[in-house]
Amino acid sequence: MPQFQDPLLLSQAVWLLIIFGVFYFVLSFFVLPRVGSVLEDRAARITADLEAARASKQQADAAMAELSAATAKARAEAQAAVAAALAEATAKAQAESDVLNAKLAEQINAAEARIATARDAAMAAIGSVATETASALVSKLMGKADANAVQAAVSRTLASRGAA
């Protein structure tokens, strides 16, 4: 092969090995350790950040649980307050209703007493009105009416009907 018969090939190969050795030495002792330390620092920072994120998540979960408990407690307290207010309003309304019912019952009793008095007065007057009417009818029909007979007949009729 003619390319291997060049006199400069041996010197090029030697320089290639020298340059390769220098690059290997520089890379292995200076560049790669720095790159390795950067990678290790980065891995440590990522791990620390992940741990911080886990801790933050646990704190957030704890805060969320605390918030849920506080919300549930506040909701229960609000429902208790509403129930108490409703019970108080119901009791107050019931008391006012009882007072009004008592007042209405008193008014009804008074009205019934007035009605009974008026009915009794009307029933008492009905006897005299019935006697006068019957006397007038008998006088018109017969010409003359016996007041005692008419009075007795009206009293019997009213007594049979339960009016007098």
Amino acid identity, residue 61?
A: D
What's the pLDDT score for residue 134? 84
Q: What is the pLDDT of residues 8-39, one digit of tens each?
A: 778 888 899 999 999 999 999 998 999 999 99
Can you tell me the distance from the alpha carbon of 10 to that of 102, in angstroms, rounded to the nearest whole number? 131
Domain boundaries, the chain: 8-161
The predicted pLDDT at position 149 comes to 83
Q: Looking at residue 3, what DSSP letter applies?
A: G
* 3-class SS of residue 1: coil
pLDDT at 4: 64
Burial of 126 per CB tally in 10 Å (0-12, 13-18, 19+): middle
> Model confidence over 89-147: pLDDT tens digits?
999 999 999 999 999 999 999 999 999 999 888 877 887 888 888 888 888 888 787 88
The mean per-residue pLDDT over the stretch 151-161 comes to 82
Is the distance from CB of 145 to CB of 135 less than 8 angstroms?
Answer: yes
Lowest mean pLDDT among 6-10, 19-23, 52-56, 149-153: 6-10
CA pair distance 72, 52, nearest whole angstrom: 30
Query: Phi and psi at residue 23, in whole multiples of 5°?
Result: -60, -40
Structure tokens at 115: 């009605």
Query: Nearest CA to 138 among 127, 149, 152?
Result: 149
Q: Please state whether 162 falls in left (phi above 0), alpha (psi between -120 and 50) or beta.
A: left
pLDDT at 111: 95
CA distance 24 to 21: 5
Question: What integer pLDDT is reported at residue 17 of this predicted model?
Answer: 96
pLDDT tops 70 at residue 1: no
- Average pLDDT score over residue span 156-163: 76
pLDDT tier at 157 (50, 70, 90 boundaries)?
confident
